[in-house]
Structure 1
Amino acid sequence: MTLYAKIVAAGLTLLSIGGFAIAPVQAQEPTKIRFTLDWKIQGPHAWYYVAKEKGYFKAEGLDVTVDQGEGSAAAITRVMSGTYDAGFGDINAVVQNAADRPGEQPVMVYLVYNGAPNVLIVKVDGPIKTLKDVEGKIVSAPAGSATLRLFVPLAKKNGVDATKVKILNAAPNLIEQLLVQGQADAIAQFSNTSYMNFLAMKLNPEKDFRWFFYTDNGLDLYSNGVIVSQKLLKEKPEAVRGLVKAINRAIVDVLANPDEAMKLLKTIEPLTNEDIEKQRMLYTAKNLMVTPETTKIGLGDLDDKRLAASITTVVEAYGLKRTPDVGEVFNRNFLPPRADREIKMPAN
C-alpha cells in the first residue's frame, strides 16, 4: 500500500471513529398521555383532534391518545383511577374529590367552559312549569353526567326535595329521545349538547322546550376544562405545559377555521353531521367560552374569588367534610401567555 493509500485509510478510520464519537444522541421518546373526553365526539371536541392530527401535541414532545367519554364527572373518575393521565372534565367534580380524597384528585390546568352549560330541560307542554314541579317526576341523564351530579345543589338552592325525584340513567344518545317520547319528564344535560340534538331531530329548541339553566337559578359555577393526574403533574410538569399549549393553540386554530376542523372531525367519526357540529361548536364558544371574564383574563384562566365561592357552594350542598383550597382545584402555572389565549368568534 502506498503512503497516500495508508494516509487515506487512516483518515477514514479516524473519521469513522470520530463519527461514532460525535454521533447525535437519539431523540428522546415522546411522552405518552392517555386523554379522555367527557362525551361522545362532538363539535366542541374538535380542538383535541386538531391538536393531534396537525402535530401540535407532537411539537411539544407528546404522543396523545384521545378517547371518547361517558360524562364530565366520569372523566374525573377515569383520571383518578389511573386509566387516563389527563382529560376534559368538570371542575365541580374535582372539588368533590379534593374534599373527600385530598391529594388524589386531578387538578384543572386550563378552564375551557368559563360559563356553565348545565341545564334542566322539560317540554313546554309537559307537567313541569317550575323547578319545584320536578318533585315526583322522572329526570333522565347519563350516569356520569356532571349536570346530574349538580342537581342536588340546584335542588337545595331552590327548595326542591331531591329525594322525591326519580333518576333514570340512560345512554348519552338516548337522553333527548326519552324526553320527547315522554319516558322522562325532564333531562339534565349540557345546553350545547341538547340544543343541537333537538335541531337534528327537526324540533325547535326555543319553542318546544323550557330551559332551567343552573346559572339562572342560584348556581354560579365554572364547568369543564383540561384536568391532569397528580402523577403527571408532579413527575412530568413540562408534559403538562406542552399539553396545555397544544390544546390552546388548537382552540385558536379551530375558531379561525371551523369548516376545516369539522372536515377533520368527520374523518375521525364518519357519522359526524358537519353542519350540526359546526353550529354546536360555535354555540359553545359564543355562550360558554367567550365571556366578559375571558375577555378580561383570557381563555383558560379563572377568577380565584369566583372559584372559592363555587367551592363553598359545592361543599355546602353535598355536606363535604372539608373545603378544598383554590390551589387544590386549579393550577394556572401551565397557562400560555395571556396574548396567546385571546380568542375571537369567526365573522360567519
Structure 2
Amino acid sequence: MLKRLTALAVGSVLLTGSAFAQETTIKFTLGWKTQGADAAFLYAKEKGLFKEEGLNVVIDQGEGSGATVTRIMSGAWDAGFGDVNAIIQNASTRPQDSPVMVYQMWNQPPFAIVTKNTSGIKTIKDFEGRTLGGAQGTPTTRLLPVFIQKNGLAGDKIKVSNMAPNLQEPMLIKGDIDAALVFNITSYFNLVLNRQDPEKDFKWFTFGDYGLDLYSNGVMVSKKLLKENPKAVAGLVRAINKGHLAVAKDQNEALKAIAAFDNLIDVPVEKRRLQYAFEKLIVTPEMKEIGTGDIKDDRMARAIGMVVEGYGLSRTPTPQEIFSREFLPPRAERELVYTKN
C-alpha cells in the first residue's frame, strides 16, 4: 500500500511538473506607463486568469500606443495593448511583419486636441496660424495629417512643435503652445494632476467628432504567435475578456490589481481614469450591439481608407489583415455591463 501511495505521489509530482513545463510565456507590452485603463490585463494576471489558460504573461510598461506595434514587430514582445491605426500603417508596407488585432477594446478614439479656454480657439479652423505641441510617434500626432485633410484645413499654416509627452500639459498651461495633440484619457488626468480643471478651463476637440470615425486601442499579437501557437492566443483573449467584464462591474477590485503591479500609482486618479475609459471610449451603442472585443467590418474598412488616404499609403490592407475575430469568445460571453462604483 505504501509503495502504491508513493508511486501515486511521484506520478502527481511528475504530472504537475509537466503542466508547469507546458506553460507558455507571452511577453506583453502596455500602451504606456501603468494606468487605470490597463485594469483588464493586470486583473487577469493578479487573479490567475492567465494561469488558468496555461499562460505566463509577462507585462511590461509601454512607450506609446503606436510604439506597441513596432515593439511587437521587433520580436521582443509577443503581444500588447496598442493602436489599431498603427497596425494599418504598417500592414500597408510590411504586411508579413505587422501584428494583428484580436480583441478591440476602445470602440471610440481618444485622439484629441486640447486648448485653454483663454486661447481664443473656438473652432478647428482657429488652429491655423497656431502652434500645436505633439509627441512624435504618438497616434494623435501621427494622425494629424488625416485630421487636417479630412476637415479641409491649411496644413501649412499649422505648426507642430515636437516635445516629450510629459511636457505637453505643462507647456499648454504656461502658454508656450496654443494647443496639444493628446490622448484625452491621458491628458485629462495629467491636467488634474497639475491642479487644473479639465472640464471648466479647457476645450477638447475629439477626432471622432470631426470625421475620423476610427477604432483605437485593443489587444494585438504577433503573426509569429498567431502561426505557432493559436491556442495561446485564444487563451490570452479569453483571460483578458474575463478580466475586462469583471473590471466593468467592480473598479475597486480592479484598482487593487493595478496597485499590486505598480504601487506608485495614484489610486483615486487611476480609478477615475478607468471609469473615464468605460464612459468615453468603451461603452457605445455599437459595443452593446456586437459585444465587447469585436468590430464592424464596414466601419473598419472606412477607417482603413481614411488612414491610407491621409498618409498617402501605397496599398490598402483589408479589414481581415488588420483584425481577426477567430479567437473571440462567443457573443454571449462578451456581454459587457458597466457599473460605476
For Structure 1 versus Structure 2, the TM-score category normalised by the shorter chain is: over 0.9
| Structure 2 letter corresponding to 1:274 | V
Task: Give how far 1:173 is off.
Answer: 2.8
Deviant stretches of 4+, over 4 Å: 14-25
**1:290 counterpart = 2:287:** no
The whole-number CA distance in structure 1 between the counterparts of 2:200 and 2:30 is: 31
Query: Using the alignment, how far apart are the partners of 1:336 and 1:242 within structure 2?
Result: 10
Residues 55-134 of structure 1: pairs in structure 2 closer than 5 A? 55-134=48-127
Distance 1:15 1:300, change over 3 A: closer
Tell whether 2:179 aligns with 1:180: no
Residues 140-163 of structure 1, C-alpha deviation per residue, up to 9 Å, x if partnerless?
A: 233231111111100111122334
In 2, distance between residues paired with 1:49 and 1:19?
34
Q: Kindly state the Cα deviation for residue 23 of structure 1 after the two structures are TM-superposed.
A: 8.2
Question: SS at the partner of 2:96?
Answer: coil
Which segment drifts farther, 324-333 or 269-278? 269-278
TM-score normalized by the length of structure 2: 0.92
CA contact (8 A) 1:90 1:224 kept: yes
Q: Distance in 1 between matches of 2:209 and 2:11?
A: 68
- Assess, with a 3 A threshold, how the Cα gap between structure 1 residues 139 and 24 changes in structure 2: closer, same or farther: same
**Among candidates 218, 222, 229, match of residue 229 of structure 1:** 222
1-structure distance, mates of 2:263, 2:275: 20
User: Closer, same or farther in 2 for the Cα pair 1:23/1:250, shift >3 Å?
Assistant: closer
- Unmatched segments (≥5 aa) in structure 1: 1-7
Q: CA deviation at 1:189?
A: 1.1
Instruction: Please tell me whether residue 154 in structure 1 is matched to residue 147 in structure 2.
Output: yes
1:279 aligns with 2:272: yes
Letter of the 2:138 partner, please give it. S
Q: Is the 8 A contact 1:196 1:276 kept in 2?
A: yes
Matched, 1:249 2:228: no
Match of 1:49 in 2: 42
Q: CA deviation at 1:171?
A: 3.0
Any idea what the Cα deviations from partners look like across 1:14-68, whole Å, max 9, x if unmatched?
Answer: 9989998998552233111111111111110122111111111111111111111
**Which residue does the alignment assign to 1:3?**
none
Q: Name the structure 2 match of 1:4.
A: none
Per-residue CA shift, 1:81-109, capped at 9, x if unaligned? 11211011111111111111112110000
Shift of 1:74: 0.9
Q: What fraction of aligned residue pairs are identical, expressed as a percent?
A: 48
Give the direction of change, closer, same or farther, for the CA distance of 1:236–1:265 in structure 2 (3 Å limit): same
The answer to which of 17-26 and 256-265 deviates more is: 17-26
Q: Is this contact kept in 2: 1:38–1:70, CA < 8 A? A: yes
Show CA shifts across 1:172-228 (max 9, x none): 333211211112211111111122222233322222111111111111111110000
What RMSD in Å do the two structures reach over aligned CA positions? 2.3
Residue type of the partner of 2:185?
N
In the other structure, the counterpart of 2:335 is: 342
* Residue 328 of structure 1: how far off its partner (Å): 0.2
CA distance in 2, matches of 1:42, 1:22: 41
* 3-state DSSP of counterpart to 2:326: helix
Q: 1:195 to 1:22 in 2, by over 3 A?
A: closer
Distance 1:60 1:290 in 2: 27
Conserved in 2, the CA contact under 8 Å of 1:86 and 1:227? yes
Are the aligned partners of 1:70 and 1:142 in contact in 2 as well (CA < 8 Å)?
Answer: no
Query: 1:71·1:142 contact (CA, 8 Å) conserved in 2?
Result: no
Question: Which string of whole-angstrom CA distances, capped at 9 and with x for unpartnered residues, describes residues 281-314 of structure 1?
Answer: 1111011111101101100001000000111111
Whose Rg is larger? 1
Aligned 8 A contact 1:136 1:165 in 2: yes
* C-alpha distance 21-110 of structure 1, shift in aligned 2 (>3 A): closer
Partners of 1:242 and 1:249 in 2: how far apart? 11
Report deviation, 1:165: 3.2
Match of 1:5 in 2: none
1:218 and 2:211 are equivalent in the alignment = yes
CA distance, structure 2, for counterparts of residue 262 and residue 276 of structure 1: 10
Residue number in structure 1 paired with 2:310 = 317
Structure 1 residues 109-151: Cα deviation after superposition (integer angstroms, max 9, x where no partner): 0000001111111111114333233234322233231111111
Q: Confirm or deny: 8 A CA contact 2:251 2:340 kept in the other structure.
A: no
What is the CA–CA distance in structure 2 between the aligned matches of 1:50 and 1:297, rounded to whole Å? Answer: 24
Q: Do the aligned residues in 1 keep the contact of 2:275 with 2:340 (CA within 8 Å)?
A: no
Q: Residues 80 and 209 from structure 1, CA distance in 2 versus in 1: closer, same or farther, beyond 3 angstroms?
A: same
- Select 2:136's aligned residue among 113, 122, 143: 143
Q: What is aligned with 1:266? A: 259
Q: Which amino acid aligns with 2:309?
A: E
TM-score normalised according to structure 1 size:
0.91
CA–CA distance in 1 between the matches of 2:254 and 2:11?
A: 46
Contact 2:113 2:179 in 1 (8 A): yes
Is the 1:70–1:172 contact (alpha carbons within 8 Å) kept by the matching residues of 2?
no
Amino acid at match of 1:170: M
